[in-house]
Structure 1
Amino acid sequence: MRAVVLDAPGPADALVVREVPVPEPAPGWVRIRVRAFGLNRSELYTRQGLSGAAVTFPRVLGIEATGTVDLDPSGRFSRGQQVAAMMGGMGRTFDGGYAEYTCVPAANVVPFRSDLPWDVLGAVPEMLQTAHGSLTVGVGLRPGDTLLVRGGTSSVGLAAALLAKHAGATVLATTRDPAKAGLLSADHVLIDDGEVAAQVREIVPEGVDGAIELVGTRTLPDTLRATRPGGTVCFTGMLAGEWTIRSFYPMDVIPQGVRLTAYSGEAHNLSADVLQRFLDDVAAGSISVPVGRRYRLDEIAQAHRDLEENLIGGKGVVVT
């Protein structure tokens, strides 16, 4: 099979497509014929050597994959069944989805049925898992709520806004680049200059009911200031690449009465029912998938350059 192999951390050109043996599933694992996989910023960090000592090389990256079951020794899944797989060490502690076949633990596998094209299906799993979990587990969004999505033009930000509006919320979303405002399916688009709390309160004077922080620790204090007492900020992403808040003093950073949570999900956080309902809604035209650029396996280095330079404009997808 063909797979994208990273021998050691490095630039995008360090990702090399090679012929390697088709992997054999261990007991309790499933082999998937990968039809498409989404691109994620965590894979960029792994390629750059920022994912910690648990990652060994050479490694096939990819924290998610979408395709069909090729072999399940346990018989739990049938050959040819459509499935998504994600997280649980994929692309880090064992080889992931940047390949024509991948083997994953059965617990990482979520089945579905859909006639949507593979480039659309490949964009969904990790993006939906993260956006849905941030809204439900993290924020506790309810119909009629106001929601701020900080980092709105990221794939998770775009998906979170779509899901929130579909659920009956009013959405405010940010972008640093006015040229990307057209990507946002939000009720209010805010140009992010590092401080948006004042802009938010011009629209919602009491502050938003909930917020999803995707930019990172640098903007978190301002996002907290944009949220009403009793509201919730869910820290989900670190797009800016800053991992910690220096000299963190909670009484200064967290306004009185504002709740701060975090979300970092796994495959079990995306149930088959939630995935199936979302795909059915997409097929019915009631919600869309924010697919950005599409690539072939041989274009993986260019895909990572585009990811690094924020040029994809939605969820990047590689079709095998």
Structure 2
Amino acid sequence: MTNGTDQMRAVVIDEPGPPSVLQVREVPRPTPAAGQVLIRVKAFGLNRSELHFRRGVGSSGSFPRIPGIEATGVVVAAPGGEFAEGTPVMTMMGGMGRTFDGGYAEYVVVPVGQAIPFHSSLPWAQLGAVPEMLQTAAGSLRVGLEARSGQSLLIRGGTSSVGLTLAILGKLSGLTVYATTRRPEAAELLRSVGVDHVLIDDGNVAAQVRAIEPDGIDGAVELVGVDVMRDTLRAVRTGGTVCFTGMLSDHWTIPEFYPMDWLPNGVRLTAYSGAGSDLSAETLQGFLDAVEAGNAIIPVGRTYRLDDIVQAHEDMEAGRVGGKGVVDLSEEGRRH
């Protein structure tokens, strides 16, 4: 699983199960080969993909495994010379935490092509939230919707970390943003990231959208799941697009899909999942610069220490995070 003589602390899952299967242990620190990079992890984000993997319902992966599909930190070694020691990088996906050991650890080894360099003075607890969240949100807008300035955007599942990031990017891109939440008390959170129209999700969001925009919205990103997607499709204008990106409800498939009944005339349905290579260094740096300039925020919900990983998964499962959950392994994080 790992190799090398030095030890590190990491979260290990021996077999699928509840949050209690997440065990913090001393394990051998991995050693990079040519074409790989060793990263000292400063922070990592928490993702529902890891929750699915932990439960044993992920579409890929094997056990025992150090989970975690993303990490942020600094380069310790790159045998091929692709990165200088100390270079800040983010990494994600490509089999991380599934087919090879992932980011829930003090060190991680990934292919050099999966490491994205950046520079920033932001705290590690914020930077650790960014890679997967930004990749998914930016890709949904760019690839899934081909969104353009002046259009309108509906985010179904707006208080999720990707939903909040979509709202932030949407406003930076000149979109009018609609976002849903099932909890009225979360409305202020959505407004704080620039949402123009907060919709309380009563199962009939399409009617609420069309009360404001009778012809329908230009584009929608579905983050809740197929159980509400039919309603989302009906909120979109003829010629508009719904991008299926997330499954917060854990409803992934449609048992009896009849396209003529599900798809309104002329409404397009796309999907976006993306990969680490889909987040360019330019997009990443541009977002971080916007945050430092005060033109965007990173929607961190809660931060944890490595020893809090069981609690972190319990909070994620219960929907208590309120944004992106981050585990902070930096010196600053250890002081708190």
* TM-score band w.r.t. shorter chain: over 0.9
SS of match in other structure, 1:210 = strand
**Residue 166 of structure 2 is aligned to residue 157 of structure 1:** no
**CA offsets, 1:102-125, max 9 Å, x none?**
001111111101111000100000
Structure 1 distance, partners of 2:98, 2:241, is 31
**Identity of counterpart residues, as a percentage?**
64
Match of 1:120 in 2: 126
SS of equivalent residue, structure 1 residue 173: strand
TM (norm. structure 2) is 0.94
| Runs of 5+ unmatched residues, structure 2 | 1-7, 330-336
* CA distance in structure 1 between the aligned counterparts of 2:203 and 2:90, rounded to whole angstroms: 36
Q: Which residue identity is paired with 1:19?
A: E
Q: Does 1:147 align with 2:153?
A: yes
Task: Output one character per residue of 1:143-184: Cα deviation in whole Å (capped at 9) or x when no partner.
Answer: 111100000000000000110011111000000111212211
Aligned to 2:175: 169
SS at match of 2:108: strand
Matched with 2:53 is: 46
Tell me the distance in 2 between the aligned counterparts of 1:240 and 1:14: 23
Provide the C-alpha distance between the structure 2 equivalents of 1:133 and 1:288, rounded to a whole number of angstroms.
Answer: 18
Shift of 1:44: 0.3
2:32 to 17, 25, 30: 25
Q: What's the Cα RMSD here? A: 0.7
Task: Provide the C-alpha distance between the structure 2 equivalents of 1:284 and 1:57, rounded to a whole number of angstroms.
Answer: 43
Q: 2:321 aligns with which of 292, 307, 312?
A: 312
In 2, Cα distance between equivalents of 1:145 and 1:200: 14
Structure 2 distance, partners of 1:41, 1:183, is 21
Look up the match of 2:113.
Answer: 107
Distance 1:293 1:313 in 2: 7
Say if 2:243 is the partner of 1:237: no
Secondary structure, counterpart of 1:218 in structure 2: helix
Write the distance in 2 (CA, Å) between the matches of 1:211 and 1:115. Answer: 34
2:21 to 14, 28, 31: 14
2:236 alignment counterpart: 227
Residue number among 291, 299, 307 corresponding to 2:308 in the alignment: 299
Q: How many residues align?
A: 319
Partner of 1:198: 207
SS in structure 1 of the partner of residue 252 of structure 2: coil
3-state SS, counterpart of residue 20 of structure 1: strand
Describe the superposition over 1:161-213 as per-residue Cα deviations: whole angstroms up to 9, x where unpaired.
11001111100000011121221131011111222100010011100000000
Q: Secondary structure at the match of 1:219?
A: helix
Aligned to 1:171, what secondary structure does the other structure show?
A: strand
Gapped regions of structure 1 (runs ≥ 5): none
CA deviation string 1:50-70 (max 9, x = no partner): 013x31111101000000001
TM-score, with structure 1 as normaliser: 0.99
Distance 1:179 1:22 in 2: 44
* Distance across 2 between alignment mates of 1:94 and 1:128: 23
Could you list the structure 1 runs, at least 4 aligned residues long, displaced by more than 4 angstroms after superposition: none
Equivalent runs, 1:63-78 vs 2, <5 Å = 63-78=69-84
Q: How far off is 1:26 after superposition?
A: 2.7
* CA distances 1:258-285 after superposition (whole Å, capped 9, x unpaired): 1111101111110000000100110111
- Deviation by residue 1:78-136 (Cα, 9 ceiling, x = unmatched): 11000000000000001000000000111111110111100010000000000000011
